[in-house]
Structure 1
Amino acid sequence: MTNVEAARTAPDTSGGRRAWFGLAVLLLPVLLVSMDMSVLFLALPTLTADLDPSAAQQLWILDIYGFLIAGLLITMGNLGDRIGRRTVLLAGATVFGTASAIAAFAPSAAVLIAARALMGIGGATLLPSSLALISDLFPDQRQRSRAIGIWTAFFAGGSAVGPIIGGVLLHHFAWGSVFLINVPVLLVLLAFAPLLLPEHRAAALGPLDLPSVALSIGGILPAVYAVKHIAEHGPDVEAFVSAFLGAAVLTLFVRRQRRLAHPLVDLSLFTRTRFSVAIGSSTAAMMSLAGLSYLSSIWLQSVTGRDPLQAAVLGIPMAITVFIFSVSGSAVARLLGVRWAFVTALVTAAVGNLLVLGIGADGGAGWYVAGSAIAGIGYGIVFTLVSEVAVASVPPERAGSAVGISETSFELGNALGLALLGSLAALVFRAGGEFAPTLGETIQRYAADSGLLAAARESFVTGAHASIAAGAGVLLLMGVVAFVVGRGDRPAGSPADDR
């Protein structure tokens, strides 16, 4: 054993029945965190009628969760490596559950935004710790690949099934139920995790660099705010200053990482072609998936007039394909090689998104179901490969840090999809006529004007087409990059550099 000392306080769980029970426990927070990225898509119209948030508040209700997760995942992954992955997992579950209860009974949009922010802080501790613990539970590579595939299926499937569960809950209960459901699930995690999961901490990594933590968050949030501000108010001095500040702070962050002996982000990982392709692919895939899910949820309810449960049912085919191909992603990579698996998955997801362009103001549900299901095939494969590459890229003592980077790309892609693609759709929508800032507000405000509402719905569809097409373009561009630079053709999970 090297100078890295791993502290384990639970009985040996590696590879046996106890390990699979441990994996089952780890799937609980994964499912909840990924669900809470998308569960509000269907709840937003009901929530809007109850809390009356402004257009900016609506976006922050959706975005603040993902942005704080994205800003803190790397930090929490490093923290888990240092003080214990199981310890961080349990602390995060407590914060996440408490914040969920606050969100469920939020009396105003401001309180809900604050609760979602706290949920993001808790969620950031859950994902890297849960995936990194898999390497402790399953030292055998083939078992580990299978376990990661299942983990990824629940992560990706949770994002896809979030609107479905939300639709069922909204059909019977108030919108707060989509948050309250988290509490009993997390109580199960808190009860069984100490019994089934090993503790793991690496003592040789050095202290956590707090300035790097501050720089990472201080760079991401101003940059995102600039995007949101431009979408709502157009380019102005405030947007320019915010964008410049974000870029400057992120530049300082990168420079600091290059100087530190124990950086928050190991930039040398990005010299490995396979790792860089994986991070780019996950960001592109989550960006397009977030835009597709958000816009299609509004289309299904506010344009076609379906209730939340009916809209949720039409999302089942995509949830199924995402889940199935997340589990089988490793097999696809063994058959095609990692390079071609990424390319095939990205192109498939893009084709599915392009098929969704068949939706219109007067119909197109068949195009949506077929296109989203095909896109789900590509998304599922991408998500599994990214998780495997992250775990295989580093020695076990750095697993939390590498997983933090990969999960940050997921969360950042999700948040950017809502901010960029959602903002693009909003810009096109508002350019189509004298409407309220959002389609939901327009329907409430001008309920008696059938002509204006028809024009508003048509304008929303035009904006949705533009955004979904842009998401497909991002996927195709990343597919070209993966084809050109991805030279590795070994099975997923091999720790090759692929430089």
Structure 2
Amino acid sequence: MNPQHASPEAQRAPGIKAWLGLAIILGPVLLVAMDGSILFLAMPRITDALVPTADQSLWILDIYGFAVGSLLVAFGNIGDRYGRLKLLLIGTSLFGLASAGAAMAPNAEMLIAFRALMGMAGATLLPSALAVLSELFTDPKRRAQAIGIFASAFAAGFAIGPIVGGQLLSHFWWGSVFLVNIPVIVLFLIFAPILLSEVKVTRPGRVDALSVVLSAVGLLLAIYAVKSLAAEGVSVLAIVAGIIGLVVLVAFARRQRHLEYPLIDFGLFRDRVFTIAIITGLLPLAAWSATAYLSGVYLQTVLEMTVAQAAMLAVPGALVLTVTCIVVPMVVGRIGTRAALIACHFAIAAGLSLFLMTGVTGGAGWYVAAMIVSGFGYGISFAVVADVAVAAVPTERAGSAAAMAETSNEVGNALGIALLGSLAALIFRVMGPDLAPTLDETAELPGLASEALLEAKSAFVTGLHAAVIVAGLLHAGLGVLALRWLPKTDPQASGEETAEAESVSRTAEEIESA
């Protein structure tokens, strides 16, 4: 039954079963978000154990995000046809098996393969979890609260991933960052069939398999070219891969224009507010993932901290991000989404600028300050992007808008490491002592002279600074663009509480049918 047309009896306050159902859903949501960032402090330990190349190190980090982002919309459509709960259970089981495989991976190639499988499974979880959640809460106001908790849990997962990883590595071997998923998955598989109900949505059209293949292959080939050129220099293979990747992506975009039910509706980008919202979903995640990854190496290898010390320094920024994500939906009705989006980008730009104060001999305090200030911006982005994107388009296209907003988060998380991480790798290769392709590998060389180690650390810090300068300028530019493009009259800012709840409710329904 469509919750919008439910009877007053059906829209009564949710019982204990609904809240328990929400709690069990949050488990997979946290895992999907955490696994996008949990390796940021673990990479030095993985590098010691598996000895990946510079290129493989970046793939270990971001193949997961690319797999999630490229398949999210497709699995949303598949869930509509075959059942959200069924897909959720299958995806969670696959996520657990892939996590166990990643923990036991004997080499870098196998770890990359299992991370890709985890990403594919993760793409089944997010849209299905939100759809099942929306079925639990038929009252619009209660559903709005539940969706707020869902969004906060997703943001918290990204934020606490490095902290959880750091604490695990303080006591266990590197594979423990994957095995931590297993208990949560087992509990979900036990209780989900009891607490949750099946959800199916009847909708026209079908999933265009060729579009799924074109988007995934084009994206991976293009990013492989960027990463390979940065880590290893110019090569025929990298150039050919890049050209083929761009051609495939162009073919994908052209195909969407002629499909009755496209995988991505590019026509939505004609709306400036929608465009700003989608970029706001992508760019902050790119900046956050890149700085979190590079900072993990900086704290452990440049400043020579233990993984536990590095994890503790990440706590203040994670708390600010999570609290902001919870508070912003409560006040955005008063300040307006325009002000929130503008503040988001300028806060991130300001926070990123503080990274420029870090150096080879010190800078831990500046790192903490940078993550706190930028954490305000990241929290705003997580909290408002989906609602702004949906509100900017006609009702009949809200499903596509919501799916694209969700996808932009995942792709942004991977792009940050791929592009900004590759920029840092390129600068290290050019300015470093040219003894090994990464700082961690250089530091492990036997008999390394102190002058060479200092040169390597200095080159890495320069690469970190270059990455934050690029990300900061992009955010400042987007903030200026938001000032010019976003309308000053914000209809969301003047609605009453019930109207706001119904708006969030509609957003959830459109996301679940995306």
Q: What TM-score does the superposition give when structure 2 sets the normalisation length?
A: 0.89
* 1:355 aligns to 2:354 (yes or no): yes
Change (3 A) 1:371 1:322: same
- Runs (4 or more) in structure 1 with deviation over 6 Å come to 11-14, 393-400
* 1:289 aligns to 2:288 (yes or no): yes
Change (3 A) 1:448 1:214: closer
Identify the residue that residue 26 of structure 1 maps to in structure 2: 25
Identify the residue that residue 91 of structure 2 maps to in structure 1: 92
Identify the residue that residue 326 of structure 1 maps to in structure 2: 325
Match runs of 1:125-204 below 5 Å: 125-204=124-203
Q: CA deviation at 1:133?
A: 3.4
Which has the higher mean CA deviation after the structures are superposed, 216-225 or 91-100?
216-225
Which has the higher mean CA deviation after the structures are superposed, 253-262 or 297-306?
253-262
Task: State the Cα deviation string for residues 31-84 of structure 1 (Å, max 9, x = none).
Answer: 111111111111111111111111111111111111111111111122122222
Q: Secondary structure at the residue paired with 1:41?
A: coil
Equivalent residue letter for 2:441: E
Q: CA deviation at 1:392?
A: 5.8
Aligned 8 A contact 1:84 1:200 in 2: yes
Q: Secondary structure at the residue paired with 1:75?
A: helix
Residue ranges of structure 2 left out of the alignment (5+ in a row): 494-499, 508-514
* 1:459 aligns to 2:459 (yes or no): yes
Cα distance between partner residues in 1 of 2:402 and 2:209: 19
* 1:112 aligns to 2:116 (yes or no): no
* 1:280 aligns to 2:318 (yes or no): no
Equivalent residue letter for 1:444: E
Task: State the Cα deviation string for residues 92-147 of structure 1 (Å, max 9, x = none).
Answer: 10110000001111111111111111101101111122233343333444433332
Change (3 A) 1:52 1:90: same
Identify the residue that residue 341 of structure 1 maps to in structure 2: 340
Equivalent residue letter for 1:491: Q
Cα distance between partner residues in 1 of 2:250 and 2:415: 19
Query: RMSD over aligned Cα, in angstroms?
Result: 2.6
Q: CA deviation at 1:478?
A: 1.9
Identify the residue that residue 39 of structure 1 maps to in structure 2: 38
Q: Secondary structure at the residue paired with 1:434?
A: coil
Identify the residue that residue 491 of structure 2 maps to in structure 1: 490
Equivalent residue letter for 1:230: L
Change (3 A) 1:394 1:147: farther
Aligned 8 A contact 2:273 2:389 in 1: no
Equivalent of 2:14 in 13, 16, 19: 16
Which has the higher mean CA deviation after the structures are superposed, 64-73 or 174-183?
64-73
Cα distance between partner residues in 2 of 1:127 and 1:401: 15
Q: CA deviation at 1:375?
A: 0.8
Cα distance between partner residues in 1 of 2:19 and 2:479: 34
Aligned 8 A contact 1:161 1:319 in 2: yes
Cα distance between partner residues in 2 of 1:393 and 1:76: 24
Equivalent residue letter for 2:19: W
Q: Secondary structure at the residue paired with 1:445?
A: coil
Cα distance between partner residues in 1 of 2:477 and 2:379: 19
**Count of residue correspondences:** 492
Cα distance between partner residues in 1 of 2:472 and 2:193: 43
Which has the higher mean CA deviation after the structures are superposed, 199-208 or 232-241?
232-241
Identify the residue that residue 438 of structure 1 maps to in structure 2: 438
Change (3 A) 1:267 1:196: farther
Aligned 8 A contact 1:150 1:326 in 2: no
Cα distance between partner residues in 2 of 1:396 and 1:275: 13
Which has the higher mean CA deviation after the structures are superposed, 193-202 or 49-58?
193-202
* 1:239 aligns to 2:252 (yes or no): no
Task: State the Cα deviation string for residues 187-242 of structure 1 (Å, max 9, x = none).
Answer: 11112222323322222222222112112212211111121122123344433332
Task: State the Cα deviation string for residues 279-331 of structure 1 (Å, max 9, x = none).
Answer: 11011100100111011110110011111111000000011011101111212
Cα distance between partner residues in 2 of 1:162 and 1:239: 32
Change (3 A) 1:428 1:491: same
Identify the residue that residue 80 of structure 2 maps to in structure 1: 81
Aligned 8 A contact 2:80 2:203 in 1: no
Equivalent residue letter for 1:223: A
Equivalent residue letter for 1:483: L
Change (3 A) 1:404 1:190: farther
Identify the residue that residue 367 of structure 1 maps to in structure 2: 366
Change (3 A) 1:46 1:73: same
Q: CA deviation at 1:491?
A: 2.4
Aligned 8 A contact 1:229 1:239 in 2: yes
Cα distance between partner residues in 2 of 1:392 and 1:101: 41
Q: CA deviation at 1:454?
A: 1.2
Cα distance between partner residues in 2 of 1:143 and 1:478: 34
Task: State the Cα deviation string for residues 364-397 of structure 1 (Å, max 9, x = none).
Answer: 1111111101111110111111233456678999
Identify the residue that residue 468 of structure 2 maps to in structure 1: 468
Equivalent residue letter for 1:283: L
Aligned 8 A contact 2:344 2:378 in 1: yes
Residue ranges of structure 1 left out of the alignment (5+ in a row): none
Identify the residue that residue 511 of structure 2 maps to in structure 1: none
Q: CA deviation at 1:160?
A: 1.4
Q: What TM-score does the superposition give when structure 1 sets the normalisation length?
A: 0.92
Task: State the Cα deviation string for residues 438-469 of structure 1 (Å, max 9, x = none).
Answer: 00000001554111111111111111111112
Equivalent residue letter for 2:92: A
Q: CA deviation at 1:248?
A: 2.0
Equivalent residue letter for 2:490: D
Change (3 A) 1:283 1:40: same
Change (3 A) 1:68 1:107: same
Cα distance between partner residues in 1 of 2:477 and 2:82: 40
Cα distance between partner residues in 1 of 2:302 and 2:452: 13
Aligned 8 A contact 1:96 1:119 in 2: yes
Equivalent residue letter for 1:57: Q
Q: Secondary structure at the residue paired with 1:40?
A: coil
Aligned 8 A contact 1:322 1:380 in 2: yes
Aligned 8 A contact 2:160 2:318 in 1: yes
